[in-house]
């Protein structure tokens, strides 16, 4: 099978404007059907890369970390720049035994057992924010609620002071996406550097005065008998703050946007006709907040008869795989009762998202609070999309809530 070039002249998946200006539903369907290994051609200032659109092919590459490596970058922004400065030190771009050992360290603070106590704090914070917004009647859900739940949670884990959290939220939003076209690649790079510098200062503080937070834990950890360096800690804090905010925040925003557009699914959620865990998986599949992850081939290989050369960039598109008709019956239907639902929103294989359990806690608590405190909600203004070739979602979502008097009264009793 030859790679399809049908729309290569009009669709450039490296360009953030592609996602802001086009509905790619038919593009992805065409690729899945006729060109599952697609070549996104080079432009004047960057190289080309391979695009995988089918679920099974994406899963196969995720499983195979001997043929495909993360250590040359795991998203287009770093892959196209020729590498990631955190390779071999930051969990997301480290492979092999070191990845395994580093993952074990981080799982000490992100395992389901440890997160039980964290979950109680997430529940209290979520219900407080939503109750206040419901009683006011209107809010910008993206800024006033979704922008405060994941950042509060991950900041508590990392020991970030409350006064620094708005600053970090703005930096994380700029680092991999933008709310408007005025933010360019230089702005994103500067935001990433600001986050790294922030955590360098925090690590130095925790070296002097350790606490009970993740940064202190990392500062006291060893890998193969060698203490983690400041750079190791800073890079993994960067990864945790970015990953701990973006997926949950964008999925929360999308869930409210989509439920407002699908009143029959809202009714099912409100009436308890579908399990919360099942609903969480469907909003994650539907939102697919991280549109892709990427790998580099470390040796020549073949996919669907298409030769992939050592060094080639291979991108894995959740935005397409989570809509693959070969896996998901009627994938274009938003169905909170969908089961099974083995979506790709957390990746798969050795690099399966280490924060997946925490993200599910946050999203489930939001859905429960919506169910308990509101009788419904509607959009009251435009929901502008972020500008990114990695993340998808909305930067703002003005909504009006209809309170549920019984639910609100019960919360106050």
Mean pLDDT of 165-175: 90
User: Does the pLDDT value for residue 6 go beyond 50?
Assistant: no
Mean pLDDT of 118-142: 96
Number of domains within the chain: 1
What is the reported pLDDT for 413? Answer: 54
Q: Bigger pLDDT: 411 or 163? A: 163
229 DSSP assignment: P
User: Does the pLDDT value for residue 7 go beyond 90?
Assistant: no
Q: What is the pLDDT confidence band of residue 5, given thresholds at 50, 70 and 90?
A: very low
Residues of the chain with pLDDT > 70, as a percent, come to 96
Instruction: Give the residue numbers spanning the domain of 332.
Output: 16-412
User: Does the pLDDT value for residue 44 go beyond 90?
Assistant: no
What is the reported pLDDT for 8? Answer: 43
4 DSSP assignment: P
Mean pLDDT of 98-127: 91
Mean pLDDT of 25-33: 97
**Per-residue pLDDT tens over the stretch 216-265:** 999 999 999 999 999 999 999 999 999 899 999 999 999 999 999 999 99
Residues of the chain with pLDDT > 90, as a percent, come to 85
Exposure on the CB side of residue 27, measured as CA atoms within 13 A: 20
Q: What is the pLDDT confidence band of residue 332, given thresholds at 50, 70 and 90?
A: very high
User: In this structure, is residue 203 part of a structural domain?
Assistant: yes
- What CA–CA distance (Å, rounded) separates 268 from 259? 10
What is the reported pLDDT for 262? Answer: 98
- What CA–CA distance (Å, rounded) separates 317 from 320? 6
307 DSSP assignment: E
- What CA–CA distance (Å, rounded) separates 130 from 408? 10
Least confident window among 234-243, 286-295, 317-326, 372-381: 234-243
Q: What is the pLDDT confidence band of residue 320, given thresholds at 50, 70 and 90?
A: very high
> Edge-to-edge strands of the sheet including 374-379?
138-140, 398-403, 374-379
Cα end-to-end distance, the chain, whole Å: 65
Mean pLDDT of 389-405: 96
What is the reported pLDDT for 174? Answer: 86
Kind of pairing between the strands at 222-223 and 138-140:
unpaired
Mean pLDDT of 395-404: 97
Contact 163, 147 (CB under 8 A): no
Contact 357, 110 (CB under 8 A): yes
What is the reported pLDDT for 28? Answer: 98
What is the reported pLDDT for 183? Answer: 66
CB neighbour burial string for 224-250, b if at least 16 within 10 angstroms, e if fewer: eeeebeeebbbbbbbbbbbbbbbbbbb
Structure tokens at 126: 């979520």
Backbone φ, ψ for residue 343 (5° rounding): -70, 170
- What CA–CA distance (Å, rounded) separates 273 from 360? 19
- What CA–CA distance (Å, rounded) separates 2 from 304? 8
| Burial (CB count <10 Å: 0-12, 13-18, 19+), residue 186 | exposed
- What CA–CA distance (Å, rounded) separates 229 from 203? 10
Mean pLDDT of 355-372: 97
Least confident window among 7-21, 80-94, 354-368: 7-21
3-state secondary structure of 5: coil
- What CA–CA distance (Å, rounded) separates 334 from 342? 15
User: Does the pLDDT value for residue 4 go beyond 50?
Assistant: no
User: In this structure, is residue 5 part of a structural domain?
Assistant: no
- What CA–CA distance (Å, rounded) separates 250 from 337? 21
What is the reported pLDDT for 98? Answer: 95
Exposure on the CB side of residue 403, measured as CA atoms within 13 A: 16
What is the reported pLDDT for 176? Answer: 76
DSSP string over 106-160: HHHHHSTTTHHHHHHHHHHHHHHHHHHHHHH-EEEHIIIIITTHHHHHHHHHHT-
User: In this structure, is residue 9 part of a structural domain?
Assistant: no
User: In this structure, is residue 29 part of a structural domain?
Assistant: yes
User: In this structure, is residue 217 part of a structural domain?
Assistant: yes
User: In this structure, is residue 8 part of a structural domain?
Assistant: no
3-state secondary structure of 317: strand
Contacts of 122 (CB under 8 A, 6+ apart): 149, 153, 361, 362, 365
Contact 149, 368 (CB under 8 A): no
User: Does the pLDDT value for residue 1 go beyond 50?
Assistant: no
Contacts of 158 (CB under 8 A, 6+ apart): 202, 213, 214, 215, 237, 240, 241
Q: Bigger pLDDT: 412 or 305? A: 305
- Where helices occur in 262-310 by DSSP H, the ranges are 263-270, 276-287
User: In this structure, is residue 258 part of a structural domain?
Assistant: yes
Mean pLDDT of 182-186: 73
| Burial (CB count <10 Å: 0-12, 13-18, 19+), residue 281 | buried
User: Does the pLDDT value for residue 45 go beyond 70?
Assistant: yes
What is the reported pLDDT for 181? Answer: 59
User: In this structure, is residue 172 part of a structural domain?
Assistant: yes
Q: Bigger pLDDT: 201 or 6? A: 201
Q: What is the pLDDT confidence band of residue 388, given thresholds at 50, 70 and 90?
A: very high
Task: Give the chain's mean pLDDT.
Answer: 93
User: Does the pLDDT value for residue 150 go beyond 60?
Assistant: yes
What is the reported pLDDT for 2? Answer: 42
- What CA–CA distance (Å, rounded) separates 236 from 154? 13
Least confident window among 53-62, 180-189, 307-316: 180-189
What is the CATH number for 127? 1.10.630.10
What is the reported pLDDT for 10? Answer: 76
Q: What is the pLDDT confidence band of residue 410, given thresholds at 50, 70 and 90?
A: confident
CB neighbour burial string for 188-198, b if at least 16 within 10 angstroms, e if fewer: beebbebbbeb
């Amino acid at each position: 099978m030859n790679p399809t070039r049908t729309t290569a002249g009009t669709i450039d998946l490296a360009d953030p404007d592609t996602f802001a200006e086009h509905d790619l539903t038919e593009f992805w369907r065409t690729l899945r059907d006729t060109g599952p290994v697609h070549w996104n051609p080079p432009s004047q200032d960057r190289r080309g890369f391979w695009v995988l659109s089918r679920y099974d092919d994406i899963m196969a590459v995720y499983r195979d970390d001997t043929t495909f490596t993360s250590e040359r970058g795991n998203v287009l922004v770093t892959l196209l720049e020729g590498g990631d400065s955190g390779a071999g030190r930051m969990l997301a771009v480290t492979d092999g035994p070191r990845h395994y050992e580093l993952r074990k360290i981080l799982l000490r603070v992100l395992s389901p057992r440890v997160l039980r106590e964290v979950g109680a704090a997430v529940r209290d914070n979520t219900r407080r924010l939503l109750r206040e917004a419901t009683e006011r009647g209107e809010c910008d859900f993206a800024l006033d609620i979704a922008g405060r739940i994941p950042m509060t949670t991950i900041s508590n884990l990392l020991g970030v002071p409350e006064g620094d959290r708005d600053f970090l939220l703005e930096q994380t939003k700029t680092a991999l996406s933008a709310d408007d076209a005025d933010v360019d690649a230089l702005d994103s790079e500067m935001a990433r550097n600001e986050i790294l510098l922030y955590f360098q200062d925090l690590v130095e503080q925790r070296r002097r005065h350790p606490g009970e937070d993740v940064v202190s834990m990392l500062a006291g950890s060893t890998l193969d008998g060698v203490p983690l360096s400041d750079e190791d800690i800073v890079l993994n804090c960067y990864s945790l703050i970015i990953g701990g905010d973006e997926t949950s925040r964008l999925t929360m925003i999308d869930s409210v946007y989509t439920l407002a557009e699908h009143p029959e699914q809202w009714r099912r959620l409100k009436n308890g006709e579908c399990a919360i865990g099942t609903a969480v998986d469907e909003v994650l599949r539907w939102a697919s907040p991280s549109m892709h992850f990427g790998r580099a081939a470390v040796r020549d290989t073949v996919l669907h008869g298409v030769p992939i050369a050592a060094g080639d960039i291979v991108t894995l598109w959740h935005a397409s795989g989570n809509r693959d008709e070969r896996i998901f019956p009627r994938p274009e239907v938003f169905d909170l009762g969908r089961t099974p639902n083995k979506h790709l929103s957390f990746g798969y294989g050795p690099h399966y998202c280490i924060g997946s359990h925490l993200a599910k806690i946050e999203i489930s608590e939001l859905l429960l609070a919506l169910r308990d405190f509101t009788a419904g909600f509607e959009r009251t203004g435009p929901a502008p999309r972020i500008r990114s070739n990695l993340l998808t979602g909305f930067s703002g979502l003005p909504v009006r809530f209809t309170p549920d008097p019984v639910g609100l009264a019960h919360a106050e009793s």
